[in-house]
Amino acid sequence: MRIRSVLSTLVAGAFLVAVPATAQADDYYWLKDRAGDAPATSDITRFKVTKTDDMLVTKVSFRKVVKPGGERSNPVELYIDTKGNGRPDHRVMIQDVDQSFSKTRSWNGSENDRRWGSCLDDLGERRAVTYQTRAKTVTVRTPLSCLGDPSKVRVAASSWYGSDRHVKQDWAHTKHRYTRWLR
C-alpha cells in the first residue's frame, strides 16, 4: 500500500514537470452604452476589448453600420493607455477607408497622425492595424507590438458626427473613460 502511494506521488510530480505551462488566458472587458444619444452611424451601443498574448481586439457596436467607402461610414477613435498616467499613449482612428495610428499625449489626437512607426508589417509597407465591419460592429485589431508590447492596456473609444464646425462625440460609456486594465 505504501509503495503504491509513493509511486502515485512520483508519477503526479513527473507529470507536473513534463507538462509546460499554458499561455495566459485572454483578458476582456465589455460594456453597454446608451442608445439614441447620437445619429445611428455614430451611436456606440456596445464596446468590447480583448487582450490576447499578441493582439488587442476592439469591437465597437453601433445602431447602424455603413461599410467602408459608403456615405457616412462609422468613424472610430481608440485611445490606448499603456503607462497609467491618465493620458492616452496611442491613438487609432478609422474613418471610411482612411486609417491612422499614432503616439499621442492628449485626448485631442496627435500631430503625428498617419505616422505608423512600429505599426508596419515586416516589409514596412502595409499597415498592421486591421479592421472590418459586420453585423453592426466595427472590429479593430492592433498588434501589441505596435504599442511596445505592454504587459497591460486600457482603452477608451469614441465616435463623432456633425459638421467641421460643430463636431460632437459619442463616447463608450463616459467621455475619456478607460476600460479597466487588461493584462
Given pLDDT bands bounded at 50, 70 and 90, which one contains residue 135? confident
Query: Is position 20 within any domain?
Result: no
Q: Is residue 180 part of a domain?
A: no
Instruction: State the cell numbers at 9.
Output: 506521488
pLDDT at 82 over 80: yes
Q: What is the mean pLDDT of residues 93-99?
A: 74
Query: Could you give the strand order of the β-sheet that contains 168-171, starting from the edge strand earlier in sequence?
Result: 98-103, 90-95, 76-81, 154-161, 168-171
Q: Is the pLDDT of residue 182 over 80?
A: yes
Q: How many domains would you assign to the chain?
A: 1
Q: How far apart are CA 131 and CA 24, in angstroms?
A: 25
pLDDT on residue 50 = 97
The whole-model pTM stands at 0.78
- CB neighbour burial string for 129-153, b if at least 16 within 10 angstroms, e if fewer: bebebeeebbbbbbbbebbeebeeb
Does a structural domain hold residue 17?
no
How far is the C-alpha of 113 from the C-alpha of 101, rounded, in Å? 6
Q: At 32, which amino acid appears?
A: K
Under the banding of pLDDT at 50, 70 and 90, the label for residue 16 is: very low
Q: 166: domain range?
A: 25-171
